[in-house]
Amino acid sequence: MKSNRVKGAISLPMAILLIFATALLLSLLFFTFWQRLSQKVETILRDQFNQQQLMLTRKIADNVEAYFDYLENELLAYPYRFQSIKPGSPDYEAYMAARFKDMRRLGILAIRRYNQDGVMVQAWGQPVTPAVSLPAPLLKWVQDPKNRHHLLLGKTAPGTEPPWQGRLLMPFLTQLYSSPNAAQPSGALEMLIDPFFICRQATEGVRSGESGYAWIIDQNEIILAHYEKEFVGQEAIPVRLARNPKTVFRGLREIHALLLSGHEGVGAYESGWHRQRLGLTPKLVAYTPIRFDKGLVRDVTEVMDPDHNLWGVAVVAPVAEVSGNVGEVLHQALFLVGLFFLMVLIATGGLIGTALVWNRSLSREVESKTGELLESQKLLLRSERFAAIGEAAAYVSHEIKNPLMVIGGLARQVERHLEADPASQEKLQIIQTEVRRLENFLGDLRDFTRPALPCKEKVDLNQIIQEVEALMKEEIRTKGVDLLDNLAPRLPVVEADPNQMKQVLLNLLKNSLEALDSGGQITLASGGDGKQVWFSVADTGAGMSPEVLEKIFNPFFTTKGKGTGLGLAVIHKIITDHQGIISVESSPEKGTSFMVKLPCSG
């Protein structure tokens, strides 16, 4: 019967198309938003990175300024020592030599003493050269009494006399007075500072990001510190142009101008290389000036040409390093977009397939319940069949056992009186053999139909295996079969009926022995893992086909000419009563292996 479709209802293909179109539109909108967000994130990350670089530059500048603060305090102490210790005396010489030894470790190249005319009269760290005198601007400052208790810091400039000729130096002076009441200065004390030492100490170990570094220039754009050691002491722009003439360094020139005019800030410029990689490299930069008029003691240190007597420090790093971090954020955002689109597709597929899945689920549930019912029915039929077999077997066993005992006993009695008739004796022995076979059959039948409950106790399976091995060794050797064992040491204890375990092992060994026509090998093995203990009996016999394997534990199933078909069924019942599992692996011409697994004790 056909169902009436509601007028105006959307068909399934149209619904799918609408869902996909909606998903595509939402994804495009999301992608556009993501692009804008990514640009904003990149800008924010660059700004944050440059702010971190700016903090590094301020720290470097603070370290340099702190160094000059220390020198300021040190230099202020010398005039008082000059008044308390007579110049030229042994105590004065010892004091100055000790102080210079300490100051040399701080980058002081030499300490010079000048007379009131500006002529050098004493020096530590270099020979005394009377021809050396103070330059006119410095001499003018030294001879002015108004500069008492003040210091003068000169600009970095190349030395003009040996041994510092051509080397970049920075002078630091103080006036000397012969006594506290002296009206005119009697000379001056000058420290020659090594600016390269100061800047190297301040920038050593500084790294921005993965490979960024710091550099310092003086008021003449001479590089005082740089990652490229050959750049130190050279003019900043020309030495860079020599490295890569293709780069104009316009942005860097602007940053130099801002730095040497006392400005602080952040920005970017294009460099011609970065470390060992040559080529156009955009870099982020943060910069700040280093001033020398911010001493701990205010209005004490005068700086020559203060508007231009300053250094500039910058920290730079490739933009690509920051872009790499931005790239990670972008990839995460892209992953979110893809995840969103995938969720929409999954939801679409879920809506489309819900009805089919539901129907299939119901079908599987019906099939599963039907299978369970059929299996239960089979188990019930098998149980009823085994119950009927058990009753019949008990009756047959009772009815046959006594006559068999009589027949066997009479056969033995008759055999003793027919010693002169070998032919009759042979027939009687056949009767006795068949009686014993029937008695064994009845015993197996009894064990199967009325199995004894296991009397469990803590046993060592290895010991049981060795006892059974001793019982069967001679019979196995007589048949020309090699008996090997591979028993695990220190096997965990199990709770089992030792007699029933021996019965299981004996039956399995006999089955393996019967499977070997002549020669071959039987292997006994054991093992355990803390939760269960196992033992196995494997032979190199003819093996069994898959059809036989399916039935070997069925009662009365046998492939032997004289077998009862109850041995493996009894073994299966015994192992089941021990809450264990018995399994078999076999294939034609490759042998058979039975494995029994039992739970550990406790």
Q: What pLDDT is attached to residue 343?
A: 76
Spatial separation of the C-alpha atoms in residues 68 and 75, rounded to whole Å: 10
What is the distance between the alpha carbons of residues 192 and 109, in angstroms, rounded to a whole number?
Answer: 5
Alpha-helical segments (H) within 417-490? 422-449, 461-478
Structure tokens at 381: 């039929």
Strand partners, 586: 592
Domains and CATH numbers, the chain: 68-197 (3.30.450.20), 198-324 (3.30.450.20), 453-599 (3.30.565.10)
User: Which of the residue ranges 7-11, 211-215, 330-334, 423-427 has the most confident prediction, judged by mean pLDDT?
Assistant: 211-215
Of 22 and 116, the one with more pLDDT: 116
Q: Which residues pair with 4 in a beta bridge?
A: none
Q: Which residues pair with 190 in a beta bridge?
A: 112, 173
Instruction: Label each residue of 504-573 as H, E or C.
Output: HHHHHHHHHHHHCCCCCEEEEEEEECCCEEEEEEEECCCCCCHHHHCCCCCCCCCCCCCCCCCHHHHHHH
Q: What is the pLDDT of residue 64?
A: 92
For residue 448, the model assigns a pLDDT of 60
Tell me, what's the pLDDT at 6?
Answer: 44
pLDDT at 301: 85
Which of 161, 62, 175 is CA-nearest to residue 114? 175
Assess contact for 535 and 554: CB atoms under 8 A. no
Residue 321 near residue 171, CB atoms below 8 Å: no
Find out whether 496 and 598 touch, Cβ atoms under 8 Å.
yes
Pairwise CA distance, residues 81 & 90, whole Å:
13
Report yes or no: 200 and 223 within 8 Å, Cβ to Cβ: no
pLDDT tens across 574-597, in order? 888 888 999 999 888 888 999 999
Give the C-alpha separation, 303 to 355, whole Å: 88
Please give the Cα distance from 312 to 314 (Å, whole number): 7
- By 3-state DSSP, what share of the chain in percent is helix, strand and coil, each rounded to 5? 50, 20, 30
Please give the Cα distance from 598 to 529 (Å, whole number).
11
In angstroms, what is the C-alpha Rg of the chain?
A: 53
Which of the residue ranges 2-11, 30-39, 561-570 would you say has the lowest mean pLDDT? 2-11
Res 175: pLDDT = 93
Residues 214-223 have pLDDT tens digits of 999 999 999 9
Highest mean pLDDT among 224-228, 245-249, 402-406, 572-576: 224-228
Measure the CA–CA gap between 322 and 425, rounded to whole angstroms: 108
Q: Which residues contact 183 (CB under 8 A, 6 or more apart)?
A: 145
